[in-house]
């Protein structure tokens, strides 16, 4: 059975683009792009939510152009937009009437139910009140009987005591005492307390006696961060103290995704909680599809900047087919990745368009007890300045994943002066054609700390922290 075509023309004045949303045979939307090739357009790629399967952008919002696009869409997709809207309008009116009737029936049912419930509740409350009154009467009666019994017992005991005293007096008169023992002096209360203090003092002085230890400062379990050597690309594995696992970026090629899975298996990790794709450049997302196809991933974070590359489209399609949770986190998102591990998204910002894809990078601030990290993606100097302006001294961290592989466009003096990390981590390929990290960037980094670790020099970099201090080991 042929798939029903549903489509919509969606002009977006803010970004000067007209989006075509479409559900139906994929070949039709490719045909629309071909027929309208005199207009500049994006590639066709999947939508991630809603009733539509595909989307296509034309780089125009002129009224005449929209009319032409709409006419061609009607020709290729079948139904006219006006007919569809008119039919939809009629259906909507009918739906509103039916919904109103249903709402009235529901309200009547609720009212009747509430009335009956109120009646039953009143009866129950009356019964409970009657029961309480009876219980109170019984308790009062029982108390009166008990009081009377106690009076009788007290009178009986007094009479018995009086009789015993009279009998003792008679015996005393008849018998003379044979001897009188001297009273032994009793220890006074003050002397007893003094003696007890002296004993406790002696116990405290005995060899081996220890005062109770102070356990107020508890050091956490180990957080492990692995900067994987994937050449001129980024891939970071974070294993929480509870063994939950998160991955930031996935390398450049499928083999990089395979390498990430091998490391996870070596650590007996069964699933990735969240795969964070900081931005849609291939050197950050190239291994993602291999991971999604071969390992359990519970959710995917994406910068939300649509691009036309086949790599990116294949990732979105796989996420959709596998029904993996998909999110485009923005500044202000804060959550716990573990009991004592909190992360905050510092960038990108809601409702802001970025011309440079590097500047769409998801920037993550991580705090584990006293230890803090920043993972910068490929964010460049312009938005480092914006972070400094927005967060100031709150950017102070212990470890920094250097932005954009140590490029001259990142790691500005202003930003480093605020962040002041004690350790830098650069993911970069040996002898890469870009000359990363640049000499000027390295000079700036080393003016703040001599601890600069590079995957091109030492291979995988492993950071372990108990939340108080850090230990760094390397593969080479």
Distance CA 397, CA 417 (A): 11
Q: What per-residue confidence (pLDDT) applies to 185?
A: 43
Answering whether pTM is above 0.95, one says no
**Cβ neighbours of 200 (radius 10 Å):** 10
Residues of the chain with CATH 3.30.70: 6-79
Which residue is listed with tokens 């030492």?
A: 458
Distance CA 12, CA 284 (A): 29
What's the half-sphere exposure (Cβ side, CA atoms, 13 Å) at 429? Answer: 13
Q: What per-residue confidence (pLDDT) applies to 207?
A: 37
Q: What per-residue confidence (pLDDT) applies to 332?
A: 94
Distance CA 225, CA 373 (A): 10
DSSP label at residue 267: T
Distance CA 367, CA 466 (A): 12
SS3 151: helix
Distance CA 79, CA 97 (A): 26
Q: Is the pLDDT of residue 366 over 60?
A: yes
Q: What per-residue confidence (pLDDT) applies to 91?
A: 57
pLDDT tens, residue by residue, 62-89:
999 999 999 999 999 886 544 445 455 5
Q: Is the pLDDT of residue 230 over 50?
A: yes
> pLDDT class for 171, splitting at 50, 70, 90?
very low
Does a cis peptide bond (omega within 30 degrees of 0) precede residue 437?
A: yes
Distance CA 456, CA 231 (A): 7
Residues of the chain with CATH 3.60.15.10: 223-474
What is the third-level CATH fold of 6-79?
Alpha-Beta Plaits (3.30.70)
**Cβ neighbours of 402 (radius 10 Å):** 27
Choice between 190 and 328, residue whose per-residue pLDDT is larger:
328
pLDDT tens, residue by residue, 235-260:
999 999 999 999 999 999 999 999 99
Which H or E run includes 225?
strand 223-227
- What value does the mean pLDDT of the chain take? 83
pLDDT tens, residue by residue, 440-476:
999 999 999 999 999 999 999 999 999 999 999 999 8
Kindly report the CATH class assigned to 223-474.
alpha beta
Phi, psi at residue 376, to the nearest 5°?
A: -95, -5
SS3 336: strand
Q: What per-residue confidence (pLDDT) applies to 103?
A: 84
Q: What is the mean pLDDT of residues 1-5?
A: 63
Q: Is the pLDDT of residue 153 over 80?
A: no
Q: What per-residue confidence (pLDDT) applies to 107?
A: 84
User: Is 296 in contact with 325 (CB distance < 8 Å)?
Assistant: no
Distance CA 143, CA 140 (A): 5
Which residue is listed with tokens 């970099």?
A: 461
Find the range with the poorest average confidence among 116-120, 206-210, 387-391: 206-210
> pLDDT class for 199, splitting at 50, 70, 90?
very low
Q: Is the dihedral of CA 288, 292, 295, 300 positive or negative?
A: positive
């Amino acid at each position: 059975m042929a798939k029903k075509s549903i489509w919509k023309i969606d002009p977006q004045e803010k970004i000067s683009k007209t989006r075509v949303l479409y559900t139906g045979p994929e070949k039709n939307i490719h045909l629309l792009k071909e027929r309208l090739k005199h207009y500049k357009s994006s590639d066709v790629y999947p939508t991630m939510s809603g009733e539509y399967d595909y989307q296509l952008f034309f780089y125009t919002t002129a009224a005449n152009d929209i009319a032409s696009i709409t006419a061609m869409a009607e020709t290729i997709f079948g139904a006219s937009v006006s007919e569809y809207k008119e039919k939809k309008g009629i259906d909507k009116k009918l739906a509103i009437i039916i919904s109103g009737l249903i709402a009235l029936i529901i309200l009547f049912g609720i009212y009747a139910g509430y009335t009956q419930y109120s009646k039953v509740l009143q009866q129950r409350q009356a019964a409970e009140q009657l029961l309480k009154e009876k219980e109170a009467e019984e308790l009062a009666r029982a108390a009166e009987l008990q009081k009377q019994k106690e009076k009788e017992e007290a009178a009986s005991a007094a009479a018995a005591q009086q009789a015993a005293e009279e009998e003792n007096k008679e015996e005393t008169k008849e018998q003379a005492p044979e001897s009188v023992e001297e009273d032994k002096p009793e220890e006074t209360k003050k002397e007893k307390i003094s003696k007890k203090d002296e004993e406790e003092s002696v116990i405290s002085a005995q060899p081996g006696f220890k005062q109770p230890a102070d356990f107020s400062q508890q050091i956490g379990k180990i957080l492990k961060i692995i900067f994987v050597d994937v050449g001129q690309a980024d891939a970071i594995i974070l294993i929480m103290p509870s063994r939950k696992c998160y991955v930031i970026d996935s390398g450049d090629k499928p083999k990089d995704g395979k390498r990430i899975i091998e490391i996870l298996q070596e650590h007996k990790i069964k699933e990735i909680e969240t795969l964070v794709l900081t931005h849609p450049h291939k050197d950050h997302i190239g291994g993602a599809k291999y991971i999604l196809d071969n390992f359990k991933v519970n959710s995917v974070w994406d910068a939300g900047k649509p691009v036309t590359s086949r790599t990116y489209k294949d990732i979105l399609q796989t996420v959709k087919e596998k029904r993996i949770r998909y999110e485009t986190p923005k500044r202000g998102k804060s959550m716990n990745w573990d009991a004592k591990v909190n992360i905050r998204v510092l960038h990108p910002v809601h409702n802001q368009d970025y011309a440079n894809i590097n500047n769409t990078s998801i920037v993550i601030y991580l705090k584990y007890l006293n230890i803090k990290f920043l993972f910068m993606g490929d964010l460049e100097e312009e938005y480092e300045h914006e972070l400094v302006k927005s967060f100031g001294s709150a950017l102070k961290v212990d470890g920094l994943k250097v932005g954009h592989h140590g490029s001259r466009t990142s790691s500005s003096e202003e930003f480093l002066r605020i962040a002041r990390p004690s350790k830098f981590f650069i993911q970069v390929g040996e002898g890469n054609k870009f000359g990363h990290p640049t000499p000027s960037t390295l000079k700036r980094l080393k003016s703040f700390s001599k601890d600069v670790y590079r995957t091109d020099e030492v291979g995988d970099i492993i950071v372990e922290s108990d939340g108080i201090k850090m230990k760094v080991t390397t593969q080479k």
